[in-house]
Amino acid sequence: MTPFDETMESPFSPSHPSILDHLLAPVVQCLTPDAACKLVNLKADAVVQARLEELADKCAEGQLSSDEQLEYATYVHAIEFIGVLQAHACCMLGGAS
């Protein structure tokens, strides 16, 4: 798991789950079972994973530049967003069986 600097405020943090869940539930309902399965199994490619690890290491060492802080925060927000979609898709698939 890529470390996350807790100082990075996120609109997808646990303090806002109902808003994100409410917004994304209708999106997931549009998915076919095949698309939901693909979403659940979605993983970052090797290039993205390597960059995330590089940024995570630099973050842990307090060595991120301003641009890298923004890049890392963007990755973290995207991962959280995708994670919520994946959780909804997983529930959808579980409910379909």
* In the chain, domain spans: 17-96
Which of 1-10, 37-46, 61-70 has the least mean pLDDT? Answer: 1-10
What is the sign, positive or negative, of the torsion defined by CA atoms of 11, 44, 31, 84?
Answer: negative
Q: Is the pTM of this model over 0.75?
A: no
Contact assessment for residue 30 and residue 89, using Cβ atoms and an 8 Å cutoff: no
How confident is the model at residue 69, as a pLDDT?
A: 96
Greater confidence (58 vs 92) lies with 58
Q: Is 68 exposed, middle or buried (0-12, 13-18, 19+ CB in 10 A)?
A: middle
Q: Is residue 23's pLDDT more than 90? A: no
**Helices vs. strands in the chain: H and E counts, helices first:** 4, 0
Place of tokens 């973290």: 76
Give the pLDDT mean for 58-83: 94
How confident is the model at residue 16, as a pLDDT?
A: 52
